Structure 1
Amino acid sequence: MKFNSIWIGTLCGWLLFLTDPAKAQTTVNRSFTGNIVDHKNSPQPYATVILKNEQDTSITQSTKSNDLGYFTFKNVKPGNYQIKITMIGFEPFIRSGVLIDSNSKPATLGVIRLQVSTRVLHDVIIKGTVPKIERQIDKTIVNVDQDITNAGSTVLEAMKKLPGVQISEDGQLSLNGKSGINVMIDGKPTYLSASDLAALLNGMPSANVQKIEIMTSPSAKYDASGNGGIINIVKKKNRKEGFNGSFNGNYRQGYYGNYGGGVSLSYKTDFYNLYLDNSYTYKKDFFNRTVNVDVLDGNHILQSERTSSNDNITSNKTYSPALGIDLYLSRNTTLSLTGNMNIQSSSDQTLSDMNIFDGNRSLSGTEYFSALNKNKPFNYTTGIALAHELDSSGRVLTFSLDYSGYRNHAGQDNQTLLKDASGNFLDRSLVFLDQSRRLKIYAFKVDYTHPLKSQGRLEVGFKSSYIRANNNNLYYQDLNGLNILDSMQTNYSVNSENINAAYINVSKVYKKLSIQAGLRAEQTITKGLQLLTGESVKQDFLSLFPAVFFDYKFNEQHGLTIRLGRRIERASYHELIPFRRPLTPVLYFQGNPDLKPQLTWHGEVAWSWYGELFLTVGYTIDRNYVRTLPYLDSNQVTVTRMPTNIQRSSSWNIDLSYSRKFANLWTTNTTFSLYQNQFSGQVANFKLNNPGIPTIYISSNNSFSITPKLSAEADLEYNSKRQLVTSSFGAYSTVDIGIRRLLFGSKGALTIKATNLLQSESHNVIDLYKNLYQYSYFNFYTRAIRVNFSYRFGNGKAAKSKKESSSADEQKRAN
């Protein structure tokens, strides 16, 4: 497969960077910052800041203030400028005579206080732009709603476009080739298995998401779970006074038709903020998988061969309502009550035809297999949070209490028909799997933030969570029209997990050096009980997880960041249950109750140039690495995939990222990554010594401003061949394009986009382990065209100072 368009697009981006005349000049450009607050010193996020050339009043740059009220302009040429700041509900702020000289030190405008406007503003259009990708000392932030091609997509589809993120066929997430990603929603863990989490995110519209935070080395204030890092999905939250809302609808035509829509409503006063979100999605997809399995003896001589073609059709209907209220008990105290549900109805159908050959590759029989899995997952979360500002210096105390429930009752009908080489009937079997899973999750958390001198901050906190999982898996076989329970293949287990954690995190900013250091202690108590056999397992251990960050600015052109941290990956509940579930005629999955936690050290060094070019070098060391491996069963016919600990693993990565806006017309965010995974150890009397292979990953997001109301976007992604333990994955690529037109006074937007334009996402997977060789090829039919329309309405007035402060605190808690 050729990827000429990918390489040409990527090379053009890098050549433009290398030949950019602005970089060739000897003049030293500068950056400067400012902090926007109101008359009560409360931070004001999302204020529009415009930088104008004072000589000809032309607009040089524009941006928005972040969640804490800070804004930054980079690469400003020496000269005289004018700063203009506007925000709904406040008087415009204008400062002229801002002199930027050639001094290499960064400039600052200090604290800028806005005055509350006595006028009522209507239909104000904010033209400041938020960058699609922001890089901070401990995280990378991707502003999802700034990407045109995300319009109408689900959160899972948007996550596939995150820098360095890959999602496997079964929903497993990896970041720069490292698995074990802890996915959070508004700073709260999801606690779901990979497949359950994929189903949840596949039913969540990206229109409800403000940003996604990627943390390869999270700070000590976050849960230590997730050896590959943390991906935090931050939902949108209303900040406007009065009645406001928005609605959206979309339709996608690919192999099947898909559609969805949602509405968000809010009402905010001096005393409360009430908000309601409702969304509905319908998705139906198809893919084909061809599989060739060779069974070898100890001398690697072929014993048997099986070739099959498997069609998979999935459909999913998801309804997701959410309701919340913020009560402003006082100027400094906010009580928040939230509740959300996710109601699904899904169907997963597999149709398989398999030919069976002997060691001489002569046909010995055929097998036809069909499976229909119907499921109605239901999960909900309720929470209460109290945020209190102790004084105006920035001392904040927060409490939160959450309860979540997850119910999953799936029924799967399997039918197998076996014939000989001549097509004569041999056997038929009917199996019904009745699978029930329930999770109850309780979590309590308290955090305290204390400001220190010279832009320092102390954070301490405590968290306790308790999870109870009931899994009842019943295996029925059809005998003469009756479903008879097979107790040997039935499993009923109860698992519980209690994690108690405490952390301390200190950050300090000097002239050129920023330091953040923290330590997290977690006590883990797990219990597992097999009710049918009486077998039980218990673990109780205490672990420490340090995290340190250093950020040093040599000058306005060069900066260096160092990150180092320790993480843990605990097995998900379905991975611990020894229930053997059929996937295809010869492929099964079974959990492993003896899995150990995976422990990881990860460090990286990042160099930045002009805040546009970033070079990152990272190294990771794992112990008890968890990977699902294929095992040939004793009948020498079927294969069972089982999560397994591998004693040692290490990986390295080199990332080169470039972000630049050219003449207010073209903005590019391009990442080039090179990484390699290595594994060693002994598994089931098989010595594993796998050095891995270097893997290339390229991601490029390009947006174009055609007119003030018309914009376009083109995205491309490329993954070369990569290897994980005994599995190697073939190369694939995707190209997406889109165009957006603002309508109705910029309150509405119509977006048309095409995804996987070249139909180039299909790839192979090869498993080579002991006496088993398996080659699979996945044909994905994801090329589609999508139309999305969104519209926002409301009076558009800004909230008063005390309400902005409270909502800012809530936003900080989500971070």
Structure 2
Amino acid sequence: MKFYLSSFLLLFSAFFSYSQVQSGYTIKGVVADSASKKSLDFVTISLKKENQPFKTTLSKTDGTFNFNQLSNANYSVAVVAVGYTSKSVSIDLKNAEQGVINLGKIYLATESKSLKEVAVNAQRPVIKQEVDRIAYDVQADVESKSLNVLDMMRKVPMLSLDGDDNIQLQGKSNYKILINGKPSSMVAKNPKDVLKAMPASSIQKIEVITTPPAKYDSEGLAGIINIITNKKIDNGYNGNVNLRENFPVGGPGGGMSFTVKQGKFGASGYGGIGVWKQPQQPSSSTRLTTDTLPSALLQNGSRSFKNQFGYIGTELSYEIDTLNLLTAEINLNKGNFNSDGNQLSRLNYLDNADRIIQGYNLESDSKQNWRGTDLSLNYQLGFKNKKDRLLTFSYKYSREGEGQNDNMNVSDCISCGLPSYTQANDGSSTEQTIQADYVHPVKKLNIEAGLKGILRNSKSDFEYSGLDSASGQYIIVPGLSNKYTNKQNILGAYNSYTYNLKDWGFKAGLRIEETIVNANFISTQSNVDQNYFNFIPSISVSRKFKNSMSVNTGFTQRIQRPNIYNLNPFVDRSNPNFQSGGNPNLDAVVNNNFQLGFSSFKKGSINLNLNYSFANNTIQRVSLYDPETRVTNSTYQNIGKDKSLGGNLSVNYPLTKNWNVNLGGNLQYAWLQGIINGELLKNEGLNGYLYGNTGYKIKQGFNLNASFSYGSPNVMLQGKSSSYFYTSVTVTKDIIKDKLSFSAGMNNPFTKYRNYNVTTAGSDFSQTNFSQMYWRSYRFNINYKFGKLQGDIKKNQRKINNDDSSGGGKSTSN
């Protein structure tokens, strides 16, 4: 009752405040280029009232703008555009007669030196549509002070989280995640755990690139998610520190980011540590088989886990002179994941529940650790006759490794013949990249070209050891152990063109890539060799209209190359009745993707995107039941044909100057088919995700935010997952304006636990895996900003972007 009463009072107060706005004054004008006298569109115009942020808007395609319903007060209009000197105009309406104040044409001069950062404190648009991507301005969202990056992704158009917090792009899990435009070992394996530990306050924006241009590597069937952390590097220093606590699920954590510049030297960085723990919660698995001896398997148990993670990254920049620039990057990360569980397993004949085929109790203690290093060096050369011509040489070295140790204690064994056992896997991957990029502008045409070579070397050493009852020692079982190496060399070249007119924008390009793979099973002395060549076209077209509206369309092909987690033949036997492993014989997949989008930016913003994609020979997770061993084995195979048709809608609208609403969702209808064990399987259905959030600014520095999201069941080739509903409320208080803030929030106040089911079916079996986790949680955050900046320095415009191996991380299930 208190919740509904508070909501009613909030709505009433907002309506009352809105109704009190006086109408009488209008400020209008036109923004134009001082040299060409042509109007400038999509320029940010900020209005301050009595030196306080009041409103913000964008100029229309004809350069016009206006602010209506203004009271008599002192105002100032700030006009800001990238590449131009900013301009401010003061207006005194205290003694003026009501009516229209026409500022006429406001001319902006081209910035002849580095553009200084202009602080615009008024409310700015959260979502921006570009020709080939959508950008979500995290810093424009007040909840960035209290949420982590994964929770922030619930608000980003085209992105969604399933019931197990796995990230999806337009309902698909085949994508690539970049950090600052580059791949990172930090998010290579399981990004959801890392992004839970990363505060959103350290993120500038999140880009969703659905039609990547040719300069990007071709990996990621659904597209690219680019998380931008680094801020502008300016004279002086600036930084942000965030401390947080989540309970009963989650834990303490902290993050920071900084920028500093002295003379020709500049640096930016970010880092953080975090703990994410889940108290003991129940889980279960059931399986019914219809073979010659039908059986029923029931497993009940519980599991707890604790994930600890730390990361740090920095970018160094030295401007030798106006034409020569050196940058270097260092990124380090390390983490561990520990879990404890117990399980009671009983396998009975279906027609006689009292007759036990197999039974055991299993106590598990699992430990995983991973670490990653990314080092890169870039040299950028400009040209005196045309500074926009750029030649860049880049080198990057990356290394990531992981170790897994599972100790499984078996007791009360009934006809199982299963001793206690251990399984260990030591895996690592190194990567070296050499790249050259050239940018050559010719009037309204921009030409880009580049060459690239990637040399990868991955290896895995896994052992399975069983307890010898006579000696009490664990002895390696050779047939269940192996050593494996995988070498993958990629040679690529691209050429792309960008052509801009007043109302039209065109991007087109072609990328060619050759991939050479050699896999070697050292223990079994067997090899797998692959060599394939791909032409990857891409094209994007945009058209601007009056009233800040635009339409964009595009087509591209994308490749999914299987990564080490898909290829590694290590078999996870932590659950003896459900085993899973990789497949070193996987081939690459080519996806065809068509996009059509509409955007409108006036008082609010509307973004609508329609898409259609299809691919053959897709990589599917396949589960087969073995009636002899009574084990369900899961792996990956190139068996699928996928088609999907859908769209995305997001609406961001300020109901008043203090009250903003954001609504949206993704809907995809998927058709899946594949041949499993000689049988053609088909499945189809709707994958959907809806979200909404609202923010209200209360007096004395308080902000109230509420959000919800709904995820429909996720359709898979052999089954589907359950739906879920998520809600959140956050209150933020600025203790020191634009410096120190405190936030408190609650997730899912109406639901204590979340139940998650994944059903899988084959020709002779059906199974359901169930897990429960705390859904209701509380969080507290302290966010502090410090420093002062002046004057921007340059950063390399072209860097290494190895977005070519399949992304989305590794999701696991029994």
Asked whether the two chains share a fold, i.e. TM above 0.5, the reply is yes
Which residue number corresponds to residue 250 of structure 1?
A: 244
**Pairing partner for 2:714 from 708, 722, 728:** 722
Higher mean displacement: 159-168 or 403-412: 159-168
Write the deviation string for residues 354-375 of structure 1: whole angstroms up to 9, x where unpaired: 2322112514254322222212
> How far is the alpha carbon of 1:438 from its aligned partner?
1.2
Match of 1:376, SS state, is: strand
Deviation (angstroms), 1:427:
5.7
- Distance in 2 separating the partners of 1:377 and 1:525: 27
Match of residue 368, structure 1, among 361, 374, 378: 361
Question: Could you list the per-position Cα deviations for residues 335-362 of structure 1 after superposition, in whole angstroms to 9, with x for gaps in the alignment?
Answer: 1122121122321223222232211251
Aligned partners of 1:450 and 1:379: how far apart in 2? 36
How far apart are 1:390 and its partner, in Å?
2.2
Helix, strand or coil for the counterpart of 1:224?
coil
Larger RCO (CA within 8 A; separation ≥ 6): 2
Contact 2:334–2:372 (CA<8 Å) still a contact in 1?
Answer: yes
**Residue of structure 1 aligned with 2:347, choices 346, 350, 356:** 356
Which residue does 1:127 correspond to in 2? 121
Taking structure 1 as reference, are residues 813 and 574 closer, same or farther at Cα in structure 2, changes over 3 Å only?
closer
CA deviation string 1:22-48 (max 9, x = no partner)? xxxxxxx999777899xxxxxxxx998
| Aligned residue identity for 1:790 | N
CA contact (8 A) 1:34 1:111 kept: yes
SS in 1 for 2:758: strand
1:684 Cα deviation after fit? 1.7
Deviations 1:444-474 (A, max 9, x none): 22222222323x3222222211110010001
Q: Secondary structure of the residue that 2:685 maps to in structure 1?
A: coil
Measured against aligned partners, the alpha-carbon deviations of 1:398-419 in whole angstroms (never above 9, x if no partner) come to 2221111112222111122344
Distance 1:63 1:530, change over 3 A: farther
Pairing 1:60-459 to 2, within 5 Å after superposition:
61-62=55-56, 76=66, 83-85=77-79, 93-95=87-89, 111-113=108-110, 126-167=120-161, 173-190=167-184, 195-255=189-249, 258-286=251-279, 287-297=281-291, 303-360=294-351, 362-363=353-354, 364=356, 366-391=359-384, 393-420=387-414, 429-454=419-444, 456-459=445-448
Shift of 1:737: 1.5
The 3-state SS of whatever aligns with 1:477 is strand
Q: Contact conserved, 2:748 with 2:775, CA < 8 A, in 1? A: yes
TM-score, normalised relative to structure 2: 0.84
The residue matched to 1:511 in structure 2 has which SS? coil
Cα distance in 2 for residues equivalent to 1:193 and 1:93: 42
- Note the C-alpha offset of 1:265: 4.4
Deviations 1:56-112 (A, max 9, x none): 9997732699xxxx999998579999742489xx99722589xxxxxxxxx996744
Q: Is the 8 A contact 1:474 1:490 kept in 2?
A: yes
> SS in structure 1 opposite 2:305?
strand
What TM-score do you get using the length of structure 1 for normalisation? 0.84
Checking the alignment, whether the CA contact within 8 Å between 1:64 and 1:128 is kept in structure 2 is no
What one-letter code is carried by the residue in structure 2 that aligns with 1:447? D
Q: 1:738 deviation in Å?
A: 0.9
- Cα deviation 1:455-510 (Å, max 9, x = unaligned): x3222222211110010001111103111110100021000111111112211122
Q: Could you report, residue by residue, the CA deviation over 1:630-661 in whole angstroms, capped at 9, with x for unpaired residues?
A: 11124252111111222411011122221222
- CA shift, 1:333, in A, is 2.6
> Structure 1's 254 and 73: CA in aligned 2 closer, same or farther, altered over 3 A?
farther
The secondary structure found in structure 1 opposite 2:673 is strand
Amino acid at match of 2:456: I
- Taking the aligned partners of 1:62 and 1:356, their CA distance within structure 2 comes to 66
The answer to whether structure 1 residue 653 and structure 2 residue 646 are counterparts is yes
In the alignment, the residues of structure 2 paired with residue 33 and residue 642 of structure 1 have an alpha-carbon distance, to the nearest angstrom, of 59
**Alpha-carbon distance change, 779 to 426 in structure 1, aligned in 2, over 3 angstroms:** closer
Secondary structure (helix, strand or coil) at the match of 2:388 reads coil
Structure 1 residue matching 2:566: 3-state secondary structure: helix
- Cα drift, residue 153 of structure 1: 4.4
| Secondary structure of 2:479 counterpart | helix
Q: Hey, what does 2:692 align to over in structure 1?
A: 700
Equivalent residues of 1:148, 1:712 under 8 A apart: no
Q: Distance in 1 between matches of 2:29 and 2:185?
A: 42
Does 2:540 match 1:549?
A: yes
Give me the whole-angstrom Cα distance separating, in 1, the residues matched to 2:389 and 2:320. Answer: 18
Cα contact 2:538–2:555 (8 A) shared by 1: yes
Shift of 1:141: 0.9
2:515 to 524, 540, 550: 524
- Equivalent runs, 1:362-761 vs 2, <5 Å: 362-363=353-354, 364=356, 366-391=359-384, 393-420=387-414, 429-454=419-444, 456-480=445-469, 481-556=472-547, 558-610=549-601, 612-690=605-683, 692-707=684-699, 709-759=701-751, 761=754
Corresponding residue to 2:46 among 44, 50, 53: 50
Contact 1:32 1:108 in 2 (8 A): yes
Deviates more, 1:457-466 or 1:221-230: 457-466
Give yes or no for contact 1:186–1:814 (8 Å, CA) kept in 2.
no
Q: For the structure 1 residues 125 and 540, does the alpha-carbon distance in structure 2 shift closer, same or farther, using more than 3 Å as the test?
A: closer
Q: Is the 8 A contact 1:418 1:427 kept in 2?
A: no
- SS, match of residue 628 in structure 2: coil
Is residue 126–residue 141 contact of structure 2 (8 Å, CA) maintained in 1? yes
> 2:671 is aligned with what amino acid?
Q
C-alpha separation in 2, matches of 1:687 and 1:649: 14
* Alignment-mate amino acid for residue 427 of structure 2: R
**One-letter amino acid of the counterpart of residue 664, structure 1:** K
The 2-side partners of 1:813 and 1:486 are apart by 41
> What do residues 182-225 of structure 1 show as CA deviations (whole Å, max 9, x unaligned)?
11112222468864444444444433322111112211111100
CA distance in 2, matches of 1:74, 1:784: 47
2:689 maps to a residue whose letter is Y
Query: Alignment partner of 1:762: what SS?
Result: strand
Offset at residue 589 of structure 1 (A): 0.8
Whole-Å Cα distance in 2 between the matches of residues 569 and 33 of structure 1?
45
After superposition, the C-alpha distances for 1:561-614 in whole angstroms (9 at most, x for unaligned) are: 211110010111121122211242411111112212111001022233456333
Q: Distance in 2 between matches of 1:355 and 1:758?
A: 35
Contact 2:177 2:226 in 1 (8 A): yes
Q: Structure 1 stretches of 5 or more lacking a match?
A: 22-28, 38-45, 98-106
SS in structure 2 at match of 1:223:
coil
Is the CA contact 1:348–1:374 (under 8 Å) kept in the aligned structure 2? Answer: yes
Q: 2:773 aligned with 1:780, yes or no?
A: yes
Distance 2:189 2:402 in 1: 12
Equivalent pairs: percent with the same residue? 20
Q: Distance in 2 between matches of 1:131 and 1:622?
A: 36
Q: What is the rounded CA distance, in whole Å, between the counterparts of 2:62 and 2:584 in structure 1?
A: 51
Deviation, 1:763, is 3.1
Structure 2: 5+ residue stretches without partners: 20-26, 36-41, 92-103, 804-814
User: For residues 116 and 229 of structure 1, what CA distance do their matches in structure 2 show?
Assistant: 36
Q: Distance in 2 between matches of 1:403 and 1:262?
A: 25
Q: Secondary structure in 2 aligned to 1:207?
A: helix
- TM-aligned CA distance change 1:645 to 1:248, over 3 Å: same
Task: Report the equivalent of 1:765.
Answer: 758
